[in-house]
């Protein structure tokens, strides 16, 4: 029968200062120890450093304790050492639980942590990814069934008014390499066709059809043709006017700039029109774009679209096409949208994100965001605000 290996947990706390880690490990290097795990957190200059070590058969615990205590005291810190038997295997975070909100109240964190515990899971690590303009806290957890935990946290999310995402841990998330977004009401605020309709004098009818389509109540292709038909005779010059009115969603440039600097490919796919998406793609430096095209003859809109309709199925086809061109498997793609015509694309992607979406989309997506900042998507990919700053500094 094998004797369980002894472990030591060394915890150092106090005011942070340079050299703590190097001096502590220099002391530990004098003994026959192996490092099993290390965690360090600094909050407002306050350090908590934990080191889990495996010991030899007969460690000199008295010497280890004395030497660690002495170096900690010399640094103005406190040290605690506890001994125990090693677990058969280290429990590492197999899931990431990301909690995000404009304001995170203690009650929200308590509720999330309580649901995690109730599902028999362990919190291995807690870290902050961002604090402005939203606060994002991430839990690395182990021992939970993702589907069951996701359902429990969805309830807590609704009750607390925060966004909660549950994703597989490890390298899965960092492997994402292609992000594809819807355009109207996602990348840009509002719907371009509604702005065109306002100039054609049919705003109310088109807005009604648009809203019903985004809720999934109407067939997208048929509704698109019906809406575009109402624009027949409109002077094509209004396209430039509407293009000038479109505003990117807050955080859109930061999102795309950061993703591109970190090596991601980016694309847009829209049930709207190439007359708007092509200039957007050029302005933002996007890799891929797909949309419908308004037919123009004699300087006026004919009330028809040309080519294959980019509808719900067409968006998923575009995602697959972009992935093939990028050499990226679908499991490493992210799709972002808000309406029912985004559902197939969101289902096909490795990670589907509902951004300020209709209820049917929120229910179907892997996760959802209700904050108005598009760059909050970065946090779901494990990219912190510090990573964003570092990416900007590298240019």
At residue 132, the pLDDT reads: 87
The reply to whether 163 falls in a domain is yes
For residue 3, pLDDT over 60 is answered with: no
pLDDT band at 214 (very low <50, low <70, confident <90, very high): confident
The reply to whether 212 falls in a domain is no
Mark whether 156 and 273 lie in a shared domain. no
**pLDDT tens for each residue of 238-271:** 999 999 999 999 999 999 999 999 999 999 999 9
Mark whether 160 and 252 lie in a shared domain. no
Beta strands in 133-259 (DSSP E): 135-142, 163-168, 178-181, 188-189, 247-248
Dihedral sign for Cα atoms in the order 24, 29, 30, 34: positive
Mark whether 185 and 112 lie in a shared domain. no
Mark whether 310 and 333 lie in a shared domain. yes
Element (H, E) at 78: strand 78-85
Mean pLDDT of 212-220: 87
The reply to whether 236 falls in a domain is no
What percent of the chain stands above pLDDT 70? Answer: 94
At residue 87, the pLDDT reads: 53
At residue 2, the pLDDT reads: 46
Distance CA 174, CA 280 (A): 27
At residue 169, the pLDDT reads: 76
At residue 288, the pLDDT reads: 98
Any idea which residues carry the catalytic annotation? 182, 184
> How many folded domains does the chain comprise?
3
At residue 89, the pLDDT reads: 44
The reply to whether 367 falls in a domain is yes
Mark whether 376 and 308 lie in a shared domain. yes
The reply to whether 299 falls in a domain is yes
Helix, strand, or coil here: 165? strand
The reply to whether 134 falls in a domain is yes
The DSSP letter of residue 225 is H
For residue 144, pLDDT over 60 is answered with: yes
Query: What residues make up the domain containing 316?
Result: 178-191+247-393
Domain boundary among 56, 85, 114: 85
Mark whether 53 and 116 lie in a shared domain. no
Mark whether 277 and 379 lie in a shared domain. yes
Question: In CATH, what number is assigned to the domain containing residue 299?
Answer: 3.40.50.1000
Mean pLDDT score of the chain, rounded to an integer?
A: 90
Mark whether 346 and 268 lie in a shared domain. yes
Q: Which residues lie below 8 Å from residue 350, measured CB to CB, with a gap of 6+?
A: 176, 329, 330, 331, 332, 333, 334
Mark whether 16 and 73 lie in a shared domain. yes
Dihedral of the alpha carbons of 249, 253, 255, 257, in degrees to the nearest 10: 170
Mark whether 69 and 104 lie in a shared domain. no
Mean pLDDT of 85-112: 79
Looking at per-residue pLDDT, the higher value among 142 and 173 belongs to 142
The reply to whether 203 falls in a domain is no
pLDDT band at 173 (very low <50, low <70, confident <90, very high): low
Dihedral sign for Cα atoms in the order 208, 214, 219, 222: positive
At residue 86, the pLDDT reads: 58
The DSSP letter of residue 4 is P
What percent of the chain stands above pLDDT 90? Answer: 68
At residue 206, the pLDDT reads: 93
Structure-block tokens of residue 393:
């500094």
Distance CA 145, CA 95 (A): 9
Mean pLDDT of 36-48: 83
Question: In CATH, what number is assigned to the domain containing residue 55?
Answer: 3.30.70.260
Mark whether 269 and 126 lie in a shared domain. no
At residue 27, the pLDDT reads: 92
Domain boundary among 34, 51, 85: 85
Domain boundary among 85, 120, 139: 85
Determine contact, residues 209/218, Cβ cutoff 8 Å: yes
Residue 367, exposed/middle/buried by CB under 10 A (0-12, 13-18, 19+)? buried
Distance CA 114, CA 149 (A): 11
The reply to whether 103 falls in a domain is yes
Least trusted range by pLDDT, from 32-36, 123-127, 172-176, 346-350: 172-176
Mark whether 291 and 387 lie in a shared domain. yes
Determine contact, residues 336/181, Cβ cutoff 8 Å: yes
């Amino acid at each position: 029968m094998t004797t369980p290996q002894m472990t030591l947990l060394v915890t150092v706390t106090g005011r942070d200062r340079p050299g703590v880690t190097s001096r502590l490990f220099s002391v530990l290097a004098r003994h026959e120890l192996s490092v099993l795990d290390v965690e360090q957190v600094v909050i407002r200059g306050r350090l908590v450093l934990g080191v889990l070590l495996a010991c030899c058969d007969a460690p000199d615990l008295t010497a280890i304790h004395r030497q660690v205590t002495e170096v900690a005291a010399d640094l103005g810190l406190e040290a605690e050492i506890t001994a125990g038997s090693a677990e058969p295997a280290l429990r590492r975070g197999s899931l990431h639980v990301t909690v995000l909100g404009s304001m995170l109240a203690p009650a929200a964190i308590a509720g999330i942590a309580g649901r995690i515990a109730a599902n028999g899971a362990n919190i291995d690590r807690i870290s902050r990814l961002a604090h402005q303009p939203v606060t994002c806290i991430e839990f690395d957890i182990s021992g939970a069934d993702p589907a069951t935990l996701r359902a429990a946290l969805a309830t807590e999310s609704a009750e607390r008014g925060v966004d909660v995402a549950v994703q597989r841990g490890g390298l899965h998330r960092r492997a994402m390499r292609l992000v594809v977004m819807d355009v109207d009401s996602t990348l840009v605020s509002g719907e371009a066709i509604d702005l065109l309709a306002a100039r054609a004098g049919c705003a109310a009818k088109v807005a009604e059809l648009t809203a019903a389509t985004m809720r999934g109540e109407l067939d997208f292709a048929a509704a698109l043709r019906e809406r575009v038909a109402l624009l027949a005779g409109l002077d094509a010059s209004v396209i430039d006017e509407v293009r000038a009115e479109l505003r990117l969603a807050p955080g859109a440039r930061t999102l795309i700039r950061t993703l591109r600097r970190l090596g991601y490919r980016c694309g847009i796919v829209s049930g709207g029109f190439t007359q708007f998406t092509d200039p957007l793609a050029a302005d933002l430096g996007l890799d891929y774009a797909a949309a419908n095209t308004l037919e123009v003859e004699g300087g006026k809109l004919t009330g028809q679209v040309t080519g294959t309709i980019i509808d719900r199925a067409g968006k998923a086809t575009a995602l697959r096409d972009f992935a093939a061109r990028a050499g990226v498997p679908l499991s490493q793609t992210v799709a972002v949208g808000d309406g029912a015509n985004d559902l197939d694309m969101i289902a096909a992607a490795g990670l589907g994100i509902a951004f300020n979406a209709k209820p049917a989309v929120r229910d179907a997506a892997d996760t959802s965001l209700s904050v108005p900042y598009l760059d909050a998507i970065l946090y779901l990919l494990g990219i912190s605000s510090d990573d964003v700053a570092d990416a900007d500094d590298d240019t």
